[in-house]
């Protein structure tokens, strides 16, 4: 695809590195395929540590932030605590900064096998949604008021 003007930040968790390392590779190559520029990759120890990193990237010159992680089921409900927190907090940050933040975090509740199966799907979807949304909001911002019905897609 032709290069577009979308600048992305990626926050990726080191936890379950065998999975998240591959998610990062897939995300970078999918961004390139879509013509978007990955401006910065910020690594955090685990998915729970993402919200502040997302906030810091949103304060920089990026149009959207992609999150990548894998929250795998353990013996306790620790994974559920992590999952619930990050989804809520990154959605709040998206609204606060007026920029898309996409959820490429597998789980909670996933087994290692389920997570492995979802590496490409989650990474690509998070990048694709970030690029699509960023382009649509750019279009919306530059659009003049109209009496006609406007479709932004």
Ligand X SMILES: CC(=O)[C@@H](O)COP(=O)(O)O
Is 72:18 a contact under the CB 8 Å cutoff?
Answer: no
> Which span (32-40, 70-78, 117-125, 132-140) binds ligand X, by CB under 6 A?
70-78
If one asks whether residue 127 binds ligand X (CB under 6 A), the answer comes out as no
Q: Exactly one of 17, 18, 78, 92 binds ligand X (CB under 6 A); which one?
A: 78
- Alpha-carbon distance of 68 to 70, in angstroms, equals 7
On whether 29 is known to bind a ligand per the annotation, the reply is no
Q: Binders of ligand LW54GNZ2 among 18-47, rule CB under 6 A?
A: 45-47
Q: At what angle do helices 17-34 and 119-142 cross, to 10 degrees?
A: 40
Residue nearest to ligand X (CB): 74
Main-chain phi, psi angles of 72, to 5 degrees:
-100, 140
Alpha-carbon gap, residue 12 to 9, rounded angstroms:
10
- Binding-site members for 5-amino-6-(D-ribitylamino)uracil are 15, 47-49, 70-72, 103
List residues binding ligand X (CB under 6 A): 72, 74-76, 78-79
């Amino acid at each position: 695809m032709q290069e577009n003007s979308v600048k992305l930040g990626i926050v990726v968790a080191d936890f379950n590195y065998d999975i998240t390392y591959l998610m990062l590779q897939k995300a970078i190559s999918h961004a390139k395929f879509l013509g978007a520029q990955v401006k910065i990759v910020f690594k955090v120890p685990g998915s729970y540590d993402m919200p502040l990193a997302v906030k810091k990237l949103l304060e920089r010159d990026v149009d959207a932030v992609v999150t990548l992680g894998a929250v795998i089921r353990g013996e306790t409900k620790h994974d559920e605590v992590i999952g619930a927190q990050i989804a809520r907090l990154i959605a709040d940050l998206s609204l606060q900064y007026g920029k898309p933040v996409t959820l490429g975090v597998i789980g909670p509740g996933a087994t290692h096998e389920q997570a492995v199966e979802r590496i490409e799907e989650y990474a690509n979807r998070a990048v694709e949604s970030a690029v699509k949304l960023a382009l649509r909001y750019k279009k919306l911002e530059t659009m003049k008021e109209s009496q006609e019905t406007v479709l932004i897609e």
